[in-house]
Chain A
Amino acid sequence: MADFAIGRSGRRFFAAPGRPLMLIVLVIAVVLIAAPLFKITLVTLAPDTIKAWGDVLWSRLSPNLFYKPLTNTLTIGASVAGGCVLIGGFLAWLVVMTDVPFRRTIAVLSTLPFMIPSFAAALAWGVLFRNDRIGGQVGFLEGLGFDIPNWLAWGMVPSLIVLITHYYSLTFTVIAAALATVNSDLVEAAQMAGAKRRKIFFGIILPVTLPAVIAGGSLSFAGGVSNFAVPALLGLPVRMQTLSTRIYGMMEVGQTARGYVIAILLVLISAFFLWLGNRLITGRRSYATITGKGGRAKRFDLGGLRWPLCALAIGVSVFSTIVPVLVLIASSFAPSSAALFSNWTLHYWMGESTPAIAQGLAGIAYNPDILSAIVITIGLGLCVAACGTVLGLLVSYSLVRAKRGVVPTVVSQLCFLPLFVPGIAFGAAYIALYGAPIGPFPALYGTFGLLVLAATAFLIPFAVQTGRAVIQQVSGDLEESAKLTGAGFLRRLTAITVPLSIRGLTAGALLVFVKIVRDLSLVVLLFTPTMPVLSVVAFRYASEGFAQFANAITVVILTISITVSLLANKLQAKSQPWLKN
């Protein structure tokens, strides 16, 4: 009898609406996200590797292995957050609150930098500012006769500039959206009561937008902390290490246990600050709930500053988007960065191997390594976009249907966990788990499958976001009526939800595609010579001194990235409330 009872309750458990789907989703989330992170922790606790914790945290090595890189990492995080809030906030304020000319142009330009991968900007910085400290080619400015000091060519300052120009578009978007919700009644009332602009700013605008400022700040903080490419390209030559470059260094020389320990610490640090940002926002949520039907307030009259501020805003955008792109394109044709616009040659694009150039490296069109990297990268992007979208749809579908309970909570938390995990640490965790055979399953190391798995897991949060938006758009009535006619889950999904939201889904898939095509930090550890991806090939060429090849490949990545991003934006017809009059 007891058996029967268990059987029945078990059956009821599985028969609950959406339950099997929920369990499938849970298994996938555990395999893709929880297992690697659990395994990397487990590995460092094994008897012969637990010593690595001591090496990293309290030994004569720790200052160089952990504490100095930690200081650099936090300095980068804090400065990037500050810089991004200032620049992004300033641009958002200009666009939303003032009568600056060319508002639309500034708004579009301000969202562009995020489409340019950060390593592209770092390479472009090298082309312009590289000095002769480490030999090799000097940059364009040295070629013009300027003497570029070390602090401007290498290390913290250029890393910060490049990272801020990369991440400010993130804070711009978040803060602009918040500013657009500032209730004009409040502002007008204050104006009528005779409040000065200063008072209005600090008394009304700032408190209302503070959650957005904190959110934008903590996102760019996390971005700066987890970035690998920029400190690797600009910091390593002056021995400036961050936690992510340390992880890479340790993994590359086979000191994996130490690498894993630093990776775990980096995850904890990054998660802590994102959590802190979240906490601060939650505490202030009351401000954001002030609503009402206010019209758009009168824009701040900038007076004589209109044109100078417009020039400044456009200047910032041009410096962070157009200049790096042009510099990289020019550099992919110029034999010497010092003379960026002379002796142009197509060799780096379509030259055959000659011993005189770059140890006989052939141009992109004839270079089998690069060609296979292009195929693999695009294939990877497509697979991840497809897998991610399907998975994102399944996850959000199951979450929307079953709102309460332990399993949905676990699934939803797991699916957003990768947001807290820096790419390089995630890559390390994947190697820890899938680097060796698991039971009857062969090891995935060096296979295309591993890249797809890791990248899908890494981008799950974005895919789930898309899925949620899409499912919420489709009215539940349609779904209900289909259910009444006896349509199964798959049929409902393919006959109703997907066709109705195909634009949104495609846009989401395209964004996932772009994110993986231009990603370096996740794939840099999963890379094997037999399974090359473009960003890593470019990174390796750059560190071996073959700048033109690196830059030419980066131009290819940029072209893919920008085209697809623009396409996605077009499909999404993103709402940009701050542009409304």
Chain B
Amino acid sequence: MKRLFQAAAFLAAGTLVLPAQADDMNMKSPEELLAGAKAEGQVVVYSFTSRIKKVEAAFEEAYPGIDLVGYDISSTEQITRLQAEHQAGVVNADVIYISDAPVVYDKLLGAGIVTPYVPPRVADRVPAAFKAPLLAQRLSTKVLMYNEEANPNGPPIDNLWALTTDAWKGRVVMVDPLQRGDYLDLMTEIVLQSDAMAEAYEAQFGKKIALSSGARNAGEQFIADLFANDLILVGSTDDVNAAVGKLGQSNPPLGFTSYSDRRDNAEEGWALQLANSVQPSPGIVFPAVIGIAEGAKNPAAARLVIDFLMGDESATGGAGFKPFYVPGDYATRTDITPHPDAVPLSEFAAWRVDPAKTAEIRADIADLVLTLQ
């Protein structure tokens, strides 16, 4: 009896102590985390952006002795993999850096596959909206881009509905929304913004929109018309960028891609530019969130990586934030100076994605896209 009581007391103490320990680690400064992280020696990051390779180099330079293993895996695939790994009881990743917030909140955070962490060093400089339910490291975009070399006077169209006209048949490029969740979010937002889409239709064609059978609103009609206009679906944003942005084209296509890919214009020989003036909106802006895998094997190093990715104390965020301090990415930290070459966030016409609303109809829109392919 006594032993049983002891065991019960031990268990109770255990359940109390464990969260306290995690909390304790969550309160540590990077200096305090460093010893633990060095002892762990390694940290595995699943990242939805290929820029993780640059982060890897910078991190290993800043913290020699800790091996950052970065995997570039699209958000959609990360979600599938993480769910499968969770079901299998395997924890491969320590840090999960991902977009697709609507699904992440629902399927990963909800299922306890990822846990939130906000580095205490920067917590007071990130607006509350970007700290919960998961920390947003930055805002990313999927917007309409055009080739500024071929169109020196600005975007060749002023309304999204122009993309459904003959002039742009077979000349609009994007990634298959069934393969990349952020493109599905873009499609979903267009449906959520059906009122604005209906208004834009009138502006483009001078008459009220008439829905064809199957379309329940102006947004769905737009998606159907866009696909019917020989929309070109490719496998990755870099394919979109090359198609739209490549220099020396006389009649380049338009495409939905990340505003921040403009950063590669010089390196890759592109002339990508944002079509910010397009009605009703050029696209979406959404958070790139980051968290720690439940049961992560390297908890201290994982927290150190997230702290590093949030940028240092300089005005541009230093080495950790450098790959993201580019025009078209917007830091969530209020004290990082906005990039001078980008449209300021206040003038940026893209729609802000509402993860909860998106999650409600996202599966329907995926099925709609499936019927159109």
Are B240 and A135 touching (Cβ within 8 A)? Answer: yes
Interface string of B89-128 (1 = CB under 8 A from A): 1101000000000000000000000000000000000000
Cα–Cα, bound, A65→B51 (Å): 34
Are B236 and A64 touching (Cβ within 8 A)? Answer: no
**CB closest chain-B residue, reference A236:** B235
Are B85 and A445 touching (Cβ within 8 A)? Answer: yes
Check: B233 CB closer than 8 A to any chain A CB: yes
Cα–Cα, bound, A253→B176 (Å): 11
Cα–Cα, bound, A315→B96 (Å): 52
Q: How many whole Å from B355's CB to the nearest CB in chain A?
A: 17
Check: B179 CB closer than 8 A to any chain A CB: yes
Are A252 and B76 touching (Cβ within 8 A)? Answer: yes
Are B236 and A134 touching (Cβ within 8 A)? Answer: no
Check: B203 CB closer than 8 A to any chain A CB: no
Interface string of B248-272 (1 = CB under 8 A from A): 0000010000000000000100000
**CB closest chain-A residue, reference B252:** A135
The one of A64, A137, A236 in contact with B371, judged by C-beta atoms closer than 8 angstroms, is: A64
Cα–Cα, bound, A61→B51 (Å): 36
Check: B208 CB closer than 8 A to any chain A CB: no
Interface residues on A, range: 35 or more
Cα–Cα, bound, A444→B51 (Å): 31
Q: How many whole Å from B64's CB to the nearest CB in chain A?
A: 17
Q: How many whole Å from A98's CB to the nearest CB in chain B?
A: 46
Cα–Cα, bound, A63→B236 (Å): 26
Check: A292 CB closer than 8 A to any chain B CB: no
Binds B, one of A187-195, A400-408, A429-437: A429-437
Q: How many whole Å from B200's CB to the nearest CB in chain A?
A: 27
Neighbouring B residues of A437 by C-beta, 8 Å:
88-89
Are B178 and A253 touching (Cβ within 8 A)? Answer: yes
Question: If the complex has contacts A65-B370, A251-B80, are A134 and B87 also in contact, measured as CB distance less than 8 A?
Answer: no
Cα–Cα, bound, A522→B313 (Å): 49
Q: How many whole Å from A435's CB to the nearest CB in chain B?
A: 6
Cα–Cα, bound, A427→B179 (Å): 20
Q: How many whole Å from A522's CB to the nearest CB in chain B?
A: 17
Are B53 and A360 touching (Cβ within 8 A)? Answer: yes
Neighbouring B residues of A361 by C-beta, 8 Å:
53
The A-contacting residues of B in range 66-91, CB under 8 angstroms, are: 71, 73, 76-77, 79-81, 83-85, 87-90
Check: B288 CB closer than 8 A to any chain A CB: no
Q: How many whole Å from B115's CB to the nearest CB in chain A?
A: 20
Check: A203 CB closer than 8 A to any chain B CB: no
The one of B51, B81, B232, B373 in contact with A134, judged by C-beta atoms closer than 8 angstroms, is: B232
Neighbouring A residues of B239 by C-beta, 8 Å:
134-136, 545
Cα–Cα, bound, A480→B241 (Å): 72
Neighbouring B residues of A293 by C-beta, 8 Å:
none
Q: How many whole Å from B216's CB to the nearest CB in chain A?
A: 13
Q: How many whole Å from A529's CB to the nearest CB in chain B?
A: 4
Check: A353 CB closer than 8 A to any chain B CB: yes
Are B81 and A529 touching (Cβ within 8 A)? Answer: yes
Cα–Cα, bound, A251→B234 (Å): 18
Cα–Cα, bound, A528→B232 (Å): 29
Question: If the complex has contacts A253-B179, A544-B238, are A528 and B92 also in contact, measured as CB distance less than 8 A?
Answer: yes
Neighbouring B residues of A545 by C-beta, 8 Å:
235-236, 238-239, 242
**CB closest chain-A residue, reference B170:** A133
Check: B347 CB closer than 8 A to any chain A CB: no
Are B54 and A543 touching (Cβ within 8 A)? Answer: no
Check: B326 CB closer than 8 A to any chain A CB: no
Are A252 and B242 touching (Cβ within 8 A)? Answer: no
Q: How many whole Å from B43's CB to the nearest CB in chain A?
A: 13
Are B370 and A61 touching (Cβ within 8 A)? Answer: yes
Are A254 and B80 touching (Cβ within 8 A)? Answer: yes
Interface SS majority for chain A: loop
Q: How many whole Å from A419's CB to the nearest CB in chain B?
A: 28
Cα–Cα, bound, A253→B84 (Å): 12
Cα–Cα, bound, A121→B369 (Å): 31
**CB closest chain-B residue, reference A436:** B87
Check: B50 CB closer than 8 A to any chain A CB: yes
Neighbouring A residues of B81 by C-beta, 8 Å:
528-529
Interface residues on B, range: 35 or more
The one of A65, A136, A435 in contact with B84, judged by C-beta atoms closer than 8 angstroms, is: A435
The one of B84, B179, B234 in contact with A445, judged by C-beta atoms closer than 8 angstroms, is: B84
Interface string of A223-254 (1 = CB under 8 A from B): 00000000000001101010000000101111
Check: A359 CB closer than 8 A to any chain B CB: yes
The A-contacting residues of B in range 214-251, CB under 8 angstroms, are: 232-236, 238-244, 246
Neighbouring A residues of B77 by C-beta, 8 Å:
252
Question: If the complex has contacts A435-B84, A528-B81, are A136 and B179 also in contact, measured as CB distance less than 8 A?
Answer: no
Neighbouring B residues of A295 by C-beta, 8 Å:
none
Best-buried of A64, A355, A444, A529 by chain B (most CB within 10 Å): A529
Are A60 and B371 touching (Cβ within 8 A)? Answer: yes
Cα–Cα, bound, A447→B84 (Å): 12
Neighbouring A residues of B76 by C-beta, 8 Å:
252-254
Neighbouring A residues of B244 by C-beta, 8 Å:
135
Cα–Cα, bound, A251→B84 (Å): 11
Are B371 and A237 touching (Cβ within 8 A)? Answer: no
The one of A61, A239, A359 in contact with B50, judged by C-beta atoms closer than 8 angstroms, is: A359
Are B236 and A359 touching (Cβ within 8 A)? Answer: no
Check: A443 CB closer than 8 A to any chain B CB: yes
The B-contacting residues of A in range 411-470, CB under 8 angstroms, are: 431, 435-437, 442-447
Neighbouring B residues of A64 by C-beta, 8 Å:
370-373
Cα–Cα, bound, A437→B178 (Å): 29
Question: If the complex has contacts A251-B80, A252-B76, A545-B236, are A359 and B242 also in contact, measured as CB distance less than 8 A?
Answer: no
Are A61 and B371 touching (Cβ within 8 A)? Answer: yes
Are B92 and A435 touching (Cβ within 8 A)? Answer: no
Q: How many whole Å from A453's CB to the nearest CB in chain B?
A: 14
Q: How many whole Å from B47's CB to the nearest CB in chain A?
A: 10
Are B92 and A446 touching (Cβ within 8 A)? Answer: yes
**CB closest chain-B residue, reference A434:** B88
Check: B190 CB closer than 8 A to any chain A CB: no
Are A435 and B235 touching (Cβ within 8 A)? Answer: no
Check: B31 CB closer than 8 A to any chain A CB: no
Interface string of A376-395 (1 = CB under 8 A from B): 00000000000000000000
Are A239 and B373 touching (Cβ within 8 A)? Answer: yes
Cα–Cα, bound, A444→B88 (Å): 7
Check: B163 CB closer than 8 A to any chain A CB: no
Check: A484 CB closer than 8 A to any chain B CB: no
Neighbouring B residues of A443 by C-beta, 8 Å:
87-90
Check: B24 CB closer than 8 A to any chain A CB: no
Interface string of A54-76 (1 = CB under 8 A from B): 00000011011100000000000
Are B267 and A356 touching (Cβ within 8 A)? Answer: yes
Are B173 and A134 touching (Cβ within 8 A)? Answer: yes
**CB closest chain-B residue, reference A133:** B232
The one of B53, B83, B235, B267 in contact with A353, judged by C-beta atoms closer than 8 angstroms, is: B53
**CB closest chain-A residue, reference B234:** A134
Cα–Cα, bound, A261→B71 (Å): 30
Cα–Cα, bound, A251→B44 (Å): 24
Neighbouring B residues of A342 by C-beta, 8 Å:
none
Could you name 9 residue pairs across A and B whose Cβ atoms are closer than 8 Å? A237-B232, A249-B178, A252-B80, A253-B179, A359-B238, A445-B85, A446-B88, A446-B92, A529-B46
